[in-house]
Structure 1
Amino acid sequence: MTVEHFLTYLQHEKRYSSHTIQSYQTDLLQFTDFMQQTFELPLTEVKYVHIRNFIVALMEDEISENSVGRKLSALRSFYKYLLRENVLSSNPMALVKAPKVPKRLPVFVDEGKLDLLLDSEEFFDGSFPSLRDKTVIETLFGTGIRLAELLSLKETDINFYESTIRVMGKRSKERIVPIGKTLREQFRVYMELKTLQNFDNKTTMLFVTDKGAAAYPKLIYRTVQRYLTYVSTQDKKSPHVLRHSYATSLLNRGADLNAIKELLGHASLAATQVYTHNSVERLKTIYKQAHPKA
């Protein structure tokens, strides 16, 4: 039973995204190489002690706790699969614990700064690439969707009459996300200009490159980083920061946590509750600034 069989299982039965499968493949190949070079062991003969050695090696290489945890998650899924297929009778991951990850609050950009960016004519010149970039920022902040979800959007996923978009989330789970009037009109203007470009490349994808091909992750990352630099000095500037900004703005304005969970496409409420910490910190700041006894 090979890693390839496992990845095929994740793709066709678990319906994992291509990004997740790529990450699992990278982590499992790294683990395979380590076991072969250090112990000359196939993955089916690995024991708890060997995995502990792998963790120690990662920590010595100063790999972050988050990255180590992700690699162990891939191994945990892999060995659970081998048990399911009766390749193994015991799980070498059973006693393995991931290193404790320090709690970090989600990084977000203040909505006032984002409004300043999106309302200013200084940063967008009206060209097709500029209009696409603005629409990307508006979409990420206006819907809270993930990068992969943004890239999978088609023009037909936008319902102008209902003011909604259809989003294909993790594990091919579909959800409907409402959009505001500003974003709806932004889509309309962008799509009209996109049609006028007469691209040779015909794609059904909503977001495209300057030459009309389907947009790709690095293009969106560069776009977000470039424009957030104009209004934010924080180190982290990514599409996911705009997702955090969306959720934090909703919570600060009184949105129900369960509603935010549905809008974000979270599988459990625990993933959404992390945003409450940002709101508590904001309330503490307001209290310290405004209350005479603070």
Structure 2
Amino acid sequence: MDLFFKYLQYEKRYSPHTLTSYHTDLGQFSQYLQQVYEITDAAEADHTIIRSWILTLVQQNIKPRSINRKIACLRSYYRFLLAQQQIKVNPMLRIKAPKASKKLPAFVEEASFNSLLDSFTFEENFEGQRDRLILEFLYGTGIRLAELIGIDHAAIDLHAKTVRVLGKGNKERVIPINDSLITSIRSYLEHKKREHSDNYSEKLLVTNRARPLYPKFVYRVVKKYISLITTSEHNSPHVLRHSFATHLLNKGADLNAIKDLLGHSSLAATQVYTHNSIEKLKSIFEKAHPKA
């Protein structure tokens, strides 16, 4: 398994988040094999044993989406074992994933988020300006949480109005930034220079102790402010990414352009936002069409 995870990290370039999830999934599968079948080597498991584990997960009311991720983990693992000639037959070829219901991406209403940025008074200190920049960066560029945390000073080009981010699979992309975001960046940098001149960090965004941001920190910041404008439980950093894409689509942006901005590898991943846009079109149709 150690060799498998090195393969995922260095050859497949999987994200740290995916690696952590796969570690958990394979650990749970290995524990099940030992407890139920007294098997210590996952290479000995056949398709019937794997099916029994999946059935156990279903009976535990694990969400289909989570089960599908665990199945994807096992698919990768057994393909790896086959390539390494550790097994002769891939047992995952006889495994079908349960169908997961497709949920529309949750997003924040455009007017509500703009009112937060325009009306809420962020404190004129390092902490206040950093929190505002976190919100503006996520909503203004649609970048992922890991991409936000990874931004360093050299990635920002205020003259060209761009930011360079490192996405999934170590794929780099350049995203345009608007004037409002540039103003927030300048304000934040001034406060950061005064507050942490002795503790320089290459990372753009840092904590109050000048350490690089970490996921839970960003989650807390986003939840704190988004909770002011919505009662929805959907108030994670990813909701601002969904909002970015949905609002662009509602304004008539090309789907391929949104795909490139989000860093999706295929258009299929981006098309989910068209459903939210269709709901918007229905609303406009019902209000405007004389025969609606």
TM over 0.5: yes
Query: Letter of the aligned partner of 1:206 in structure 2?
Result: L
DSSP 3-state at the match of 1:104 = coil
Indicate yes or no: 2:51 matched with 1:52: yes
1:59 deviation in Å? Answer: 1.1
DSSP 3-state at the match of 1:176 = strand
1:201 deviation in Å? Answer: 3.8
Alpha-carbon distance between aligned partners in 2 of 1:179 and 1:170, rounded to the nearest angstrom: 20
Return the match for 2:211 from 213, 218, 224.
213
The match for 1:94 is: 93
Indicate yes or no: 2:87 matched with 1:83: no
The match for 1:264 is: 262
Query: Letter of the aligned partner of 1:290 in structure 2?
Result: A
Query: Letter of the aligned partner of 1:98 in structure 2?
Result: A
Unaligned stretches of 5+ residues in structure 2: none
The match for 1:255 is: 253
| TM alignment of 1:133-152, pairs within 5 A | 133-152=131-150
Query: Letter of the aligned partner of 1:128 in structure 2?
Result: F
The match for 1:157 is: 155
1:32 deviation in Å? Answer: 0.5
The match for 1:38 is: 36
The match for 1:118 is: 117
The match for 1:278 is: 276
Query: Letter of the aligned partner of 1:266 in structure 2?
Result: H
The match for 1:233 is: 231
Moved more, 125-134 or 64-73: 125-134
CA RMSD of aligned residues (A): 1.1
Deviations 1:39-63 (A, max 9, x none): 1122011111111111111111111
Query: Letter of the aligned partner of 2:191 in structure 1?
Result: L
Alpha-carbon distance between aligned partners in 2 of 1:158 and 1:68, rounded to the nearest angstrom: 39
Alpha-carbon distance between aligned partners in 2 of 1:260 and 1:156, rounded to the nearest angstrom: 24
The match for 1:7 is: 5
Return the match for 1:198 from 188, 196, 199.
196
1:129 deviation in Å? Answer: 1.1
Alpha-carbon distance between aligned partners in 1 of 2:190 and 2:198, rounded to the nearest angstrom: 16
1:190 deviation in Å? Answer: 0.5
Q: Output the TM-score relative to the length of structure 1.
A: 0.96
Query: Letter of the aligned partner of 1:9 in structure 2?
Result: Y
1:200 deviation in Å? Answer: 5.0
Alpha-carbon distance between aligned partners in 2 of 1:121 and 1:248, rounded to the nearest angstrom: 23
Alpha-carbon distance between aligned partners in 1 of 2:227 and 2:287, rounded to the nearest angstrom: 28
Deviations 1:216-265 (A, max 9, x none): 10000011111001111211111110000000111111111111111100
DSSP 3-state at the match of 1:93 = helix
Deviations 1:7-61 (A, max 9, x none): 0111111111211111111110010000111111220111111111111111111
For these two proteins, the number of residue pairs brought into alignment is 291
Taking a change above 3 Å as real, the CA distance of residues 109 and 121 of structure 1, as seen in their structure-2 partners, is closer
Alpha-carbon distance between aligned partners in 2 of 1:191 and 1:135, rounded to the nearest angstrom: 10
| C-alpha contact (below 8 Å) 1:201/1:212 kept by paired residues | yes
DSSP 3-state at the match of 2:159 = coil
DSSP 3-state at the match of 1:165 = strand
The match for 1:108 is: 107
Moved more, 136-145 or 186-195: 186-195
Alpha-carbon distance between aligned partners in 1 of 2:202 and 2:251, rounded to the nearest angstrom: 36
DSSP 3-state at the match of 2:165 = strand
Percent of residue pairs bearing the same amino acid type: 49
Q: Output the TM-score relative to the length of structure 2.
A: 0.97
DSSP 3-state at the match of 2:93 = coil
The match for 1:66 is: 65
1:292 deviation in Å? Answer: 4.2
Query: Letter of the aligned partner of 2:157 in structure 1?
Result: N
Query: Letter of the aligned partner of 1:233 in structure 2?
Result: T
1:156 deviation in Å? Answer: 1.1
1:166 deviation in Å? Answer: 0.3
